[in-house]
Each structure stands twice: as structure tokens, then as C-alpha cells.
Amino acid sequence: MPKLKTKSGAKKRFVPKKSGKVKFRRAGVRHLATFGKTKKQKRHLRGTDHLTPMDEKKIKECFPYAR
């Protein structure tokens, strides 16, 4: 039986963790220097976050060898 392939788009955007959660970076941080965003918006966009359980289930299907 052939090996299952990981979806290349998913592996660029998401990181499955050992705990079972899926980590990702928030959208809208490419051009933080642009005007139109408040300091609070920029602060909340910093760092990473975890997916909701429903989205997590869909993304986990893209990683056949993740736990």
C-alpha cells in the first residue's frame, strides 16, 4: 500500500502538537506597519493560537501521520 501524503498547503500553515491540538498563526500580520489597525489589534495578532475543535478535526485529516 502506498504512503499517504501530507497536504502541502496544510503543512505550511499548521503545526499539529503532541497534545492533539493544532497550532497556527493569525491572519492579517503581514503588513502590521500599515495604518488602519489599532495597537490593540496588532497586539492580539501577535503570536500563535490553537484551532477550534471543529476546524481541528478537518485539519488533522490533512496530516495522516500526526497523532
* Antiparallel, parallel or unpaired: β 22-25 and 48-50: antiparallel
CB within 8 Å of 48: residues ≥ 6 apart? 23, 24, 25, 26
User: What is d(CA 45, CA 28) in angstroms, rounded to the nearest whole number?
Assistant: 7
- pLDDT score of 32: 61
Q: What would the pLDDT profile of 13-62 be if each residue is shown by its tens digit?
A: 999 999 999 999 998 888 766 678 888 988 898 899 999 999 999 999 99
User: What is d(CA 41, CA 28) in angstroms, rounded to the nearest whole number?
Assistant: 10
**pTM for this model (two decimals):** 0.78
Whether the per-residue pLDDT at 2 is higher than 80: the answer is: yes
